[in-house]
Amino acid sequence: MSGKPVVQDKAKLPRLRRLDLPMYERIYQAFRDTILNGQVFPGARLPATRALAQHYGVSRNTIIQAYDQLASEGYFETRHGSGTYVANELPENFVLSRQLSGTKKGVLKTKPPDKLWNAGKPPRPFQIGVPDMERFPTETWLKLYAKHVRSSPYSLANYELEDGHSSLKNTIASYLNTRKGVRCSSKQILVLPGSQQAQELVVRSLLRPGDQAWIEDPCYRGTRSALRQNGIKAIPVPLDENGLDVSYGLKKAPKAGLAIVTPSHQYPIGCSMPIGRRLELLQWANESESWILEDDYDSEYRYRGKPIPAMQGIDEGNRVLYMGTFSKCLFPDIRIGYLVAPFSILDALKEMQATTGSYPPIAMQATLAAFMHDGHFERHIRRMRSRYSKLYYSLIEALEKNCSDYLTIGPREGGMHVTVFLKDTSKTATIQEEAGKQGIALSPIFKYASSKDSAQGFLLGFSCFGGKQLISSTRQLKKIFETIM
């Protein structure tokens, strides 16, 4: 059907239902449902307003009103001089899943997630997101775990799952209030198996299929997939040096229901959002009654200046949900993260948490609570901050010395990777491929962006390597640049 005017086949024009609604709304809903049900594809041409008015026996103004609504919500796009089309940028998987739901098995067809880099094996040079496990106090952790299981074996036979082990919620609340500038009580915390689950929960609880959500462009890939899987239209909002460009979002999709942002340390570029921009974002959320999901995944690792307090702490309108994870500051397999939510939506989120059974094992939660309570957590963070800081600056120095003909270094706000931008933007894929052959894991920025034409460069992980190894990997990278560029 793609490309053909729908009007040519009158039988395929949507039937109008909902007699209780005004005419323009019935037409709007009929087209919206037809698109979401996969009966008309992205890119299909739509009937001219005059022809449609005749078909439905209404005035042309009524049709124009419905078309305007569909265009402003992103279902339709108008191409100057050639008519109106179903938007190309619809969440395709959602449309596809609706189509498939009528088939025998109703399987949601999506791309399988990318394979993890050599999961379980020692990390490859520049691999991202891997904490230094050699320095993790494993013995202490195991002792605390064993102590918990021995002292309360029936806690392992527990089916009464809650939104979090109460001592862990208390410890997290105290950590967030004193160290991160979050204002919350432990009652507002949901403990989840990671912050990816937190995003999923928020999206499923607060949005409906067809709604819009702002995302940073580029952004964490899990954010995009949480929206896609739930039929939400992601609105990629470009970044400038202050993070998400709120004025762009306001123009493109002022009524979006949610914005997902990483203000303390933008993922993957690395800038932080200054107060002026934060206030702009909060103002939009307050005025449009939208939500903000603040993803604070690694703010423990800032190497200069003071930690930047959370945006949640200055939110007077209760529009911000704040999420964090122990994947970066401890280790990803812990599968524990948390969501701090305004009281007004707590029950809805808890109900969704119960429905989806998103609870980390209680024994892990109790171990973590004891680990934090006894001071091991803060000690570990302090040690790691000092170690990562040294590695971070030696990697930057090595890159400046060896690779400055080929790249520039992105924002220097800390974290667990350094973002670099290539001066010659045409060879990203070739460089990544050649590096891969030589055992180097380069993550290209475009993988996180809405289009391949985004900034060209790579994320270079450093946290689990020694200083000497980083220097020799940087030299190896230089040789690759010399051969290819």
Please name every residue paired with 324 in a beta bridge, in sequence order, or none if there are none.
Answer: 296, 338
Residue with Cβ nearer ligand PLP (129 or 457): 129
From the CB of 180, what's the least distance to ligand PLP, in Å? 15
CA-CA distance, 388 to 140, in Å (whole number)? Answer: 22
DSSP letter string, 157-203: G-----SS-HHHHHHHHHHHHHHS-----GGGEEEESSHHHHHHHHH
Q: Between residues 128 and 391, which has the closer beta carbon with respect to ligand PLP?
A: 128
In the complex, minimum distance from the CB of residue 337 to ligand PLP, in angstroms, rounded to a whole number: 4
* CB-nearer residue toward ligand PLP: 332 or 411: 332
CB of 375 to ligand PLP, least distance (A): 23
Q: Which residues of this protein are in contact with ligand PLP, per CB under 6 A? A: 129, 194-196, 220, 222, 262, 267, 295, 297, 325, 327, 332, 337
Structure tokens at 52: 């449609």
The single-letter code of the amino acid at 303 is: Y
Partner residues linked to 294 by β-bridges? 261, 322
The least CB distance from residue 272 to ligand PLP, in Å, is 13
The CB-nearest residue to ligand PLP is 194
Residue 257 or 263: the one with the smaller Cβ distance to ligand PLP is 263
Tell me how far, at minimum, the Cβ of 195 lies from ligand PLP, in Å: 4
221-229 vs 92-100: helix crossing angle, rounded to 10 = 40
28 or 141, CB closer to ligand PLP? 141
The SS3 of residue 408 is strand
Label the pairing between strands 417-422 and 407-409.
antiparallel
In angstroms, give the least distance from the CB of 228 to ligand PLP: 16
Its sign, for the CA torsion 131, 418, 295, 448, is negative
Q: Which is nearer to ligand PLP, 263 or 337 (CB)?
A: 337
Sorted by sequence, the CB contacts under 8 Å of residue 220 that are 6+ apart come out as 262, 267, 268, 295, 297, 448
